[in-house]
Chains A and B, each alone.
Chain A
Amino acid sequence: MRRAAAACFGLAIAFGAVGEERSASEAIAEYRQMLEDGNPAELMELRGEELWTTPRGPKNASLAQCDLGLGPGVVEGAYAQLPRYFADTDRVQDAESRLLTCVTTLQGVPGDEAARGWYRAGSDLEALVTYVATQSRGKPIAAPVTHPKESAFLAIGADLFYRRSGPLDFACATCHAQDDRRIRLQELPNFENPESARTSMTVWPAYRVSQSAVWTMERRLIDCIRQMRHPEPELGSDAIVALQVYLQHQAQGGVMTGPGIKR
């Protein structure tokens, strides 16, 4: 079988059946299990905590007063209840956009500077989101849908999940709306099925071995949107936040175990 030279994906190496009695997905589950002890995300968490507590920026302030929805400085359990509506910005925000609000308002860092290179391995946002998300481990997902803007974003997020466009007619639903589906050997969560949605949303953000970095949910979604051959939505844009309101709603009640380990 010829080895394709495609940068991010090459041909899977043709090989005999993986152990007659075991399927490829069982073998992959065992592989992931072997990695659970010693998840490099713990290193990003350490750095995120340092970024949270260290005074920085023109105002030489830390993020200790940042309100992630449960009150200024409250981090424990906050991630599991995002996205949500924030009165001070009059917007529904997710972890990434809310942290950027705090960096710009509390620390005085200009918006574009705070967001620059956010998608690169080792970015401040990667570390901060990893730290914040780790403090929701063991908490059930409960993104509120009580404020009118939250419920509007739930309906909009659902519409966006099914919104097909582009040369390949792709939408999220193209791959994520049926049970037990796979692209190649890549198992796909089905977000129409709450149980499947929970297995997915409770492990993100996750350390991706193929990237040697933790990917936040926005990084994950924006790369998927790229692979659908759509343009990239803006970091923290309403489309990305509304989509997460829908995904979190589908996964509500799932107990956070992240950051996880992914391909």
Chain B
Amino acid sequence: MKLPVFLLAGLLALPAAALAADTAEDVVRRSYPGATPEEWRARLDQDDVQALCSRHRNRPPEDVAARIVESQLATIRYPEDGRLLGDWKAGERLASIGTGGHIGRIQPDPPDRKKGGNCYACHALAKKEVAAGNLGPPLTGYGRLRGNAPDVVRHTYAKIYNAQAFFPCTSMPRFGHSGWLTPQEIADAVAFLLDPESPVNRE
């Protein structure tokens, strides 16, 4: 996934002095001797969006932000069967667990451990779940407020698939683009948000 060339050129024209001295990348390179090549690729090497957001401290200037939105919108993939509204109960389970994908020696997960969406970590959802985070906006009553017309469903699906396509350098992971959640799981999360039966939309 490459950004338009002219943006990349900007990256390469760093002043020589900055490259000579010890940089963060040099330090990262020598601080993870135990990481495998695959772990480097998937977990330490940065893609363009990660590199830009890091450099701009998650406050990208307008031109960079516009390019991030443009490049990330192009990554969104919808489920083959076209069903964007899945099972809200499965979505609720997904929102409630933050397991899966840990590596390392101290407390790794078994590779097949279910990857959770952990939505409650950052968002208020069902009113009755008081232990909800506030890193992200509250989503209680999300479906009640918006209804679930096709464009609302599609828009909600897209935001979960790749939040950077809407909020450049947001803290929210790109759940679909990274492959952390499958399109079907994202459809279940959409249902948890939009289905009238879901506790998100019931008092």
Contacts and interface: CB of A to CB of B under 8 A. Distances in A.
> Is there a direct interface between A and B, measured as CB atoms under 8 Å apart in the complex?
yes
- Range of interface residues on A (Cβ < 8 Å): 35 or more
A171 B53 CA distance: 10
B129 to A, nearest CB: 6
A188 B164 CA distance: 23
A231 B39 contact: yes
A175 B107 CA distance: 21
B174 interface: yes
Contact of A237 (B30, B53, B107): B30
A238 B27 contact: yes
B43 A229 contact: yes
A237 B23 CA distance: 14
Contacts of A160: 24, 27-28
A166 B42 contact: yes
B182 interface: no
A164 B46 contact: yes
Given A24-B131, A229-B43, A175 B96 contact: no
A223 B106 contact: yes
B171 A175 contact: yes
Contact of B102 (A11, A14, A24, A226): A226
Interface residues of B, number: 55
Interface string A231-248: 111100111101000000
A12 B130 contact: yes
A188 B44 CA distance: 24
B34 A167 contact: no
A182 B121 CA distance: 8
Given A160-B28, A227-B102, A233-B31, A165 B46 contact: yes
Which of B96, B131, B133, B135 has the most chain A CB within a 10 Å cutoff?
A: B131
B75 interface: no
A185 B132 CA distance: 6
Main secondary structure of the interface of A (DSSP, over half): loop
Contacts, number: 157
B129 A167 contact: no
B197 interface: no
A183 B60 CA distance: 24
Interface in B88-138: 93, 96-99, 101-107, 116, 120-122, 128-135
B8 interface: no
A35 to B, nearest CB: 20
Interface string B22-38: 11100110111111000
Given A168-B173, A182-B133, A234 B33 contact: yes
A173 interface: yes
Interface of B: 21-24, 27-28, 30-35, 39, 42-46, 49-50, 53-54, 57-58, 93, 96-99, 101-107, 116, 120-122, 128-135, 164, 171, 173-174, 178-180
Given A167-B43, A183-B122, 17 more contacts: A1-B96, A1-B128, A4-B99, A14-B128, A17-B130, A152-B21, A162-B53, A163-B24, A167-B179, A169-B53, A169-B164, A183-B121, A229-B103, A231-B39, A232-B32, A238-B31, A240-B31
Interface of A: 1-2, 4, 6, 8-9, 11-12, 14-15, 17-18, 24, 119, 152, 156, 159-160, 162-171, 173-175, 177-178, 180-186, 188, 222-223, 226-227, 229-234, 237-240, 242
14 contacts: A15-B130, A18-B130, A119-B106, A160-B28, A170-B173, A178-B135, A184-B132, A226-B102, A230-B44, A231-B39, A231-B43, A232-B104, A233-B32, A234-B34
Shortest Cβ-Cβ A-B pairs, 7 listed: A12-B131, A239-B31, A159-B24, A237-B31, A232-B104, A168-B173, A231-B35
